[in-house]
Structure 1
Amino acid sequence: MFDAKLRPLIDPPLNRAGKVLAAWGVTANALTLAGLALGLAGAAAIAFGEIGAGLALILANRLLDGLDGAVARANGPTSFGGYLDIVADFAFYVAVPLGFGVLAEANTLPALVLVASFVLTGVSFLAFAAIAATRGEETEAHGKKSFFYSTGLAEGGETIAIFIAMCLFPGWFGPIVYGYAALCILTVFQRSALALARFG
């Protein structure tokens, strides 16, 4: 919901840093993989009860996720880079609630519900992108991407805000997760309505 609005604020400094990193020979794919490693380490830290360390690693993951796109724009994006980036994003999104699910038995059911809602939003997102590609449709509402990014109520920015809230208020994990899972399901309905309007 907020991602497209945040792009004009975060893209300029990221793009400047991306040009520097590209000049140093750093590749976008290397940053994507490093970010994934940090994100998975953050989920593991949470599972072992080190929630503060988990939060720091989650934030580091998001920084590298922004920088890999900036480096890709500086060097020229590749199709494989776009594929790797989205796979790494969803692996990270699923790992964090699983970490909380391992942390405490009371978290298991809400964690599974959130993972299921992520699967549904991911399927709707990727199916929309695939069909938009066959129709030659493009958008730069979320910046220049490797494929069509459809807007939704629950996007990357909202997901990170929820992850931060989970880490700051772990005792409220269940209510936080159930509320966000509901927003994810609403996003599926919203995106489906948009698909019907555009593709029907």
Structure 2
Amino acid sequence: MFDARLRPLIDPPLNRIGRALAAGGVTANMLTFLGLVLGLAGAGAIALGQLAIGLALIIANRLLDGLDGAVARANGPTALGGYFDIVADFAFYVSIPLAFGFLDPANTQAALVLVAAFVLTGVSFLAFAVVAAERGEETRAHGRKSFFYSTGLAEGAETIAVFIAFALFPAWFVPIAYGYAALCVLTVFQRSALAVTQFRD
């Protein structure tokens, strides 16, 4: 919901850093995998009760996720890089709710519901991208990407805000998780309605 609005604010500084990193020989895939390692380490820290460390690693993961895109724009995006980026993103996304499930068994059911909602959202996102690519459709609403990014109520910015809320207010994990899962499901319906409109032959 907010990703496209945030792009004009965050892309210019990220692009400057990305060009400098690219000039120094850093590749987008290096940053993608480093970000994934840090994100999964953050999930591990949360599962062990180290919420402050987990929060710091979540933020580091998102910073590197932004920088890998900036380096890719500097060097030229690749299909392989786009593939690794989306796989790393979803691996990170599902790890955080699962970590809170391990942290407190009372969170387990809500964590699993949220992971299932992420799976549905991810499937709708990727299916939309595949069909849009087959039809030759493009969008720059989320910046220059290696494949079609459809908008939705629950996107990256909202997900990170929820993860930060989990870390700051762990006692509220269950209601926040259920609420965000509902927003993810609404996103699937929203994206499906858009597909009916956009892909009607």
TM bin, normalised by shorter chain, reads over 0.9
Q: Distance in 1 between matches of 2:153 and 2:172?
A: 22
Residue 156 of structure 1: CA displacement? 0.2
Structure 2 counterpart of 1:160: 160
Residue 85 of structure 1: CA displacement? 0.1
Amino acid at match of 1:55: L
Residue 114 of structure 1: CA displacement? 0.3
Structure 2 counterpart of 1:174: 174
Cα shift readout 1:116-149 (whole Å, capped 9, x = no counterpart): 0000000000000000000000000000000000
Cα shift readout 1:42-92 (whole Å, capped 9, x = no counterpart): 000000000110000000000000000000000111100000000000000
Structure 1 counterpart of 2:199: 199
Structure 1 counterpart of 2:98: 98
Amino acid at match of 2:161: A
Q: For structure 2, which runs of at least 5 residues remain unmatched after alignment?
A: none
Q: Distance in 1 between matches of 2:175 and 2:36?
A: 27
Q: Distance in 2 between matches of 1:141 and 1:7?
A: 8
Structure 1 counterpart of 2:44: 44
Structure 2 counterpart of 1:139: 139
Identity rate, percent: 77
Amino acid at match of 1:34: L
Structure 2 counterpart of 1:183: 183
Structure 2 counterpart of 1:73: 73
- The secondary structure found in structure 1 opposite 2:26 is coil
Q: Distance in 1 between matches of 2:81 and 2:116?
A: 26
Q: For structure 1, which runs of at least 5 residues remain unmatched after alignment?
A: none
Residue 4 of structure 1: CA displacement? 0.1
Instruction: Give the alignment's Cα RMSD to 1 decimal.
Output: 0.3
Residue 168 of structure 1: CA displacement? 0.3
Runs of 4+ that moved beyond 6 A: none
Structure 2 counterpart of 1:115: 115
Residue 194 of structure 1: CA displacement? 0.2
Structure 1 counterpart of 2:29: 29
Amino acid at match of 2:62: R
- The secondary structure found in structure 2 opposite 1:192 is helix
